[in-house]
Structure formats: C-alpha cells, structure tokens
Amino acid sequence: MLPEMDGLTLLQKLKETGRPPIVLVVTGHGSVESAVEAMRHGAFDYLTKPVDATRLQVLLEKSIEQESLSREVNFLRHQLRQKGSFGQLVGQSRSMQEVYRWIELAATSTAPVLVYGESGTGKELVARTIHDLSNRRNRPFVAINCAAIPETLIESELFGHERGAFTGATERRLGCFELADGGTLFLDEIAEMDSNTQAKLLRVLQEGSFRRVGGGKSEIQVDVRVVAATNRVPTEAIQANQLREDLFYRLNVFSIHLPPLRDRKDDIPLLARTFIEEFNRQDNRQVRGLVPDTEKDLERYMWPGNVRELRNVIQRAVVLSGSGLIASEHLPDNVLRGTVPSSGAAAGSVTPIREMERDLILRALDETNQDKRKAAQLLGISLKTLYNKLAKYGIQAVKSARLT
C-alpha cells in the first residue's frame, strides 16, 4: 500500500516527470476496467495476483524491448525534425508542426486514427509515418482505397472469403484485416464505403474479430491498428449520410487534419527542393534548384491538387530543364496562368478554386485522350470521385462543345 496516494495517482505523477519509467502494475483486485485505466495512465501492462512467473518474465522481456524501441524512435524523431520533415512528410510551417505533434501522440497508442484533408495532401504518408514510429513498424502495413473497389467486392477485400462463397471464389482468400494482423491497416476514402460495410467495420473495431465471406459463424481474431482517411469534412459526410456517425466516433480517437497546400505556402520551396533531389537521384540528373522568380510563381499558384500536383509539376520541370536551374518556362501554362490576371481581370484578382479544379480535370482528360480511368490516376483521385466531379462541373457537356 502507498501511504499518500493510490497506484493510478502515482502513474500520473510519473508521467509528469517527462521521462517516466516503464511500469508493470500488480494488484490483487484486477478487472478489465482497472487494467484499461492503469494503461491509460501510462502502465506498460497489468498483472493480477497470484502472479504467473512465465507471464511476468515475458512482460519483463517485452518492457526491455519497448524501452530500446522508445529510445530509437526518439532519436529518429529528432533527426527527422532537424531536416524539416517527419517521416515522408515535408514541411516546417506551424500547421505541419501541429500535424507532426498529433502523429507522435498517435504513434504511442493502438487506438484508431481518422485523417482528413483534400486529395493530394498526403493522408497515406501520415498513416505510414504513424506506423513507422509505432512498435508495429516491423509488422505489415496494408493500404486499401475503398472507393476503387466495387461495392460487391469490398467485404471480400476487407475480410476475405472461403472457397465457394460466391461465383468465381475458387479458393480461400485472406482479406486485408488478416494480411495486416499485428500491423496497421490504412483505409483510404472511408466515406465512399457503403453503410452496411461501414457497420461491419465498426464491429471489427469494437470486437477485434470478423467472419470471412461464406465463413459461417467462425470468428477470426486479429490485432490490427486502423488508420482511416477521407477527403471530406467528417461532419459534412455524416450529414450527407456518407459516413456513419457511430463509426466516426469509433475512429475519431485521434483526428488529424492535413491542411491544403494553399494554406501552407511557406512550405512550397522546401517541398520543391525535396522533389528536385528525389528526381535527380531517380533520373541521374543535375538540376541545382529554382530561379527565384520561379519560386515566386509556385508560391502564387493555388494548387488545387495540393502536394501531389506540385510533385508532378516538379517532375516535369526537372525533365524539361535538363540541368542547371528550373525557370518559369519549365512550368505548365496553368501554373503560370494562376499567377497572372487575365487581360480583362482586375489586378490582384484570384481564380476561384472551383474553376481551377474544373480546368485541372479538363487538362487531365485532354492529356489521357478522354480515358477517365487514366485521368483519375493522373489527378490522384478514385474513378468514382472523378465521375462525381464530372457531374458536378458538367464537364461532359463542355467536352462535347469543345469537339464541335
């Protein structure tokens, strides 16, 4: 017995020291609730009396391994921040520092994470960074785009199926949850998943088990950390009946918002230099950087396609420049048009994002000879999302008008 405080209070005090030791809690009055509470306050694990010697030895070995991993992760975090990046994410702006802070917090937990932001902002990179900084990093990372899979096949992709479960199921197939066992499962565009499948996903998150399609009542237990992502504002997706409210609350233990590139333009020069270095290595080129005026051109553009669009623009510019410095002439016309008002526009006017997105889609269709699947890949969005935007902007009618 502690004379002045209980065990949970002691755990909290240890956390406040800044460098708390690894703690194993031993009690004679164990329950699931008290175990969860102790671990929430920082305990590594929980034992009830009488203590099993074998389990104690296993936990002691795991705790030593965890301490070593923690030191390694802290070193990696320091190194990454020194370089102005965090994992594969790049940026030193205040908004990105906040993203990094949430990633650090999420990496120390096994709770679900919801990442939201516009297409091209780097949501999968957030998921990978969380995985790489967690103690699951030596286990599988499995990514699936929910919008790219037909509604009739999404359950099979997630949960697997037994032989004969449906026409064409000639053998047993493991789903993403089994493939990611012990690791992390990234579910992109979660709001594009139908409501019934969302309900089944919620059950897996709550119970930690599921059934393969055609598997009868046989339950499969898994240990999977789920990171979900959407390019919609979650509350708006709920109001539009695209995201179940109960699933949102289960996923929203950690919520990370990725800002659009237009809201962190200070990061554009650093991102551009990072991409130049990447393509120099990849293509064995000697591009040294950007002409100062070109850097300003990039900063003035609104980047509706976000970081993904910037990366594509830099890749093209590296090829066109050959060597030396990237100049404005190496940038696409739409990027330059975004920096200069048209002849009839007032100075300082800005093209609406809606118009720029529409122009970007038209350009992608032109460059792919109207192949919608290839255009969607070029834009970094799902085919379903592209069709929604075509309908939204009436692009089919525009295309017909351009052909006549």
- Residue 26 to residues 1, 6, 35, 39, 59, Cα–Cα distance (Å): 12, 13, 10, 12, 12
CATH class of 84-259: alpha beta
Give the whole-angstrom CA distance, residue 40 versus residue 34. 10
- Burial classification of residue 337, based on how many CB atoms lie within 10 Å of its CB (0-12 exposed, 13-18 middle, 19 or more buried): middle
- Specify the DSSP class assigned to residue 285: -
pLDDT at residue 349, rounded to an integer? 42
- Distance, in Å, from the CA atom of 72 to the CA atom of 353, rounded to the nearest integer, reads 43
Tens digit of pLDDT per residue, the chain (404 long)? 455 666 677 777 776 666 667 777 776 655 556 665 676 666 777 677 777 777 788 778 777 766 666 666 666 566 555 556 787 899 999 999 999 999 988 988 889 999 999 999 999 999 999 999 888 989 999 999 998 888 888 888 898 888 777 777 778 788 899 999 999 999 999 999 999 999 999 999 888 888 888 877 778 888 999 999 999 999 999 999 999 999 999 998 899 999 999 999 999 999 999 999 999 998 888 899 999 999 999 999 999 999 999 999 999 999 888 778 999 999 998 898 874 334 444 434 444 666 677 778 887 887 788 888 888 877 778 888 888 888 777 776 333 333 33
| Residue 18, Ramachandran bin (φ over 0: left; ψ between -120 and 50: alpha; else beta) | left
Q: Tally Cβ neighbours within 10 Å of residue 252.
A: 15
* CATH architecture of the domain with range 7-74: 3-Layer(aba) Sandwich (3.40)
C-beta separation of 226 from 112 below 8 A: yes
Please state the separation of Cα 256 from the chain's center in Å: 9
pTM: 0.67
Are 261-351 and 352-404 equal in CATH topology?
no
Q: Give the pLDDT confidence score for residue 47 in this predicted structure.
A: 72
Residue identified by tokens 């194993």 is 24
Q: How far is CA 151 from CA 161, 196, 365, in A?
A: 15, 10, 26
Instruction: Please determine, looking at this structure, whether the domain spanning 261-351 carries the CATH number 1.10.8.60.
Output: yes
* pLDDT value of residue 250: 92
How far apart (Å, rounded) are the C-alpha atoms in residues 166 and 369? 37
The pLDDT, as a whole number, for residue 367 is 76
Class of domain 352-404: mainly alpha
Domain-wise residue ranges, the chain: 7-74, 84-259, 261-351, 352-404
Reading phi first (left if > 0) and then psi (alpha if -120 to 50, else beta), residue 133 is in alpha
